[in-house]
Amino acid sequence: MKKYTHVELVKLRVIIPALFLCITSFSLNEAFAQPVPAEDENIPFLVTFGNAGLTSWGDDDFCQTFFLSVPLTQKTPIYIRVYDPDCGGQFDEVYGPEDTKTKFSIYGGVGAFSDKAAQQPHPVGNYKSGTLLDSKTFGADPKYDNGWYTFGPYNPSDGEKMTEYGIYYFKIIAQGIQGDDGNLYTYYFSTSASENKRIEGSNAATYEYTFRMPDKPGSVCHLYPYITEDVISVQQHNFDWDSDGQMRIVSYEKKGELAALSSENDWKISKHEIKKTEQKSSLDFQFVKSKTDPKPHNNICFHMTNQFGEFLPFNSIPIGGIPKYKYDGLINQMQQNERFNNIKQNPK
Ligand SMILES: [Ca+2]
Ligand SMILES: [Ca+2]
Ligand SMILES: [Ca+2]
Ligand SMILES: [Ca+2]
């Protein structure tokens, strides 16, 4: 065995902890990175069709709303970046001519989040609540094809201040205002105008996801609805799944409870009981693509309600961590115990 000199030992004592710190901070960056959809969700793209699209292509209402939460402690400006905002060229689902226009609008100020019309899946009532900070409409545009458009800078205080949660909220609405094509895109909420740099402590949420499943057979996508302590049952609502495999719920109490599945241009609903030990945590709602009969280019809409008919938020970074079934090994069980001791604030 090699004998170390005193100098070598000192070096090792400095270098090894430094390396450990580098690795740790890298994985923390990864874990808290803010692409939307987030990496853990495994969803390649959000989808919004032009308002002349057929709902049988997988978008029920041609509109998608996301919320960005920024902690009150954030003092420097933030940016809302959209990847491939155009509708044409790469990625997008084009029928006939590239004739679709998608309007992205950013809202802040009083009511942007707190107006109940904003916290539901359908573009009805005062869902454009708050103060319009910015909007831009994209058609087919090589400049933004496979590229980024950046909204901002915004002061965090341009968002709606929700003191009880320690958060400013911004709202982003993507709406298909013309044409019949499907616009595929993603977001990144950043502290930089030109790069994707996470905003520490921020999160993204929506009350309805319209997204593209991966094409790879057997792929699993995840959504993480948050269950408050007053929830005793949930209903899942899925649209235009095209009978593409299974949907199942994993939680502390559920190992993969199966959900009712839609096929073509229809909604399917199923009710699922919630136990006390599933409250104040997230569910892992999984979309499992068929291995034997996978559907290409499958777009789907999804939302959930509680027993009062209220819509549940999905968080890109699941509150309380990714839920695991209680008997999935001792280590997972210990993580669960830790999770119950570390429950973060209620997003509603
Ligand atoms: Ca078209
Ligand atoms: Ca494109
Ligand atoms: Ca696009
Ligand atoms: Ca579909």
* pLDDT tens figures, 230-239: 999 999 999 9
Structural domain ending residue among the three candidates 186, 212, 238: 212
Query: Is residue 189 domain-shared with residue 86, that is, in the same domain?
Result: yes
Residue 332 has pLDDT above 80, yes or no: no
pLDDT of residue 329: 63
* Cα(65) to centroid(ligand 4), Å: 19
- Nearest ligand, measured from the Cα of 144: 2
Residue 238 sits in a domain of what CATH number? Answer: 2.60.120
Query: Beta-carbon neighbour count of residue 171 at 10 Å?
Result: 26
Query: Is residue 313 domain-shared with residue 221, that is, in the same domain?
Result: yes
* Cα(54) to centroid(ligand 1), Å: 11
Residue 84 has pLDDT above 60, yes or no: yes
pLDDT of residue 38: 94
pLDDT of residue 333: 60
* The dihedral sign for the CA sequence 316, 319, 322, 323: negative
* Cα(286) to centroid(ligand 4), Å: 16
Residue 347 has pLDDT above 80, yes or no: no
Pick the more confident residue, 30 or 142.
Answer: 142
Give the model's confidence band at 190: pLDDT under 50 very low, under 70 low, under 90 confident, else very high. very high
Give the model's confidence band at 8: pLDDT under 50 very low, under 70 low, under 90 confident, else very high. low
Look up the domain containing 199 and give its range. 39-212
Model pTM score: 0.85
**C-alpha to C-alpha distance for 234 and 90, rounded to whole angstroms:** 38
pLDDT of residue 25: 32
Q: What is the mean pLDDT of residues 173-181?
A: 98
| Residues contacting residue 158 through CB under 8 Å, at least 6 positions apart | 108, 109, 133, 168, 170
- Nearest ligand, measured from the Cα of 140: 2
Q: How far is CA 232 from CA 71, 226, 229, 279, 307, in A?
A: 30, 13, 8, 8, 7
* Cα(89) to centroid(ligand 4), Å: 21
Query: Is residue 223 domain-shared with residue 169, that is, in the same domain?
Result: no
Pick the more confident residue, 46 or 11.
Answer: 46
Structural domain ending residue among the three candidates 162, 195, 212: 212
Alpha carbons within 13 angstroms on the beta-carbon side of residue 171 total 27
pLDDT of residue 122: 95
pLDDT of residue 22: 36
- Nearest ligand, measured from the Cα of 181: 1
Query: Is residue 120 domain-shared with residue 240, that is, in the same domain?
Result: no
The mean of the pLDDT values for the chain is 90
Which residues keep their CB under 5 angstroms from ion ligand 4?
58, 240, 242, 298-299
Query: Is residue 46 domain-shared with residue 172, that is, in the same domain?
Result: yes
| Residues contacting residue 345 through CB under 8 Å, at least 6 positions apart | 165, 166, 319
Any domain includes 163 = yes
Q: What is the mean pLDDT of residues 192-197?
A: 96
Which residue, among 47, 73, 71, has the nearest Cα to 61 in the 3D structure? 47
- Nearest ligand, measured from the Cα of 52: 1
- DSSP readout, 43-67? --EEEEE-TTS-GGGS-SSSEEEEE
Report the domain count for the chain.
2
Q: Poorest-confidence range of 1-5, 155-159, 168-172? A: 1-5
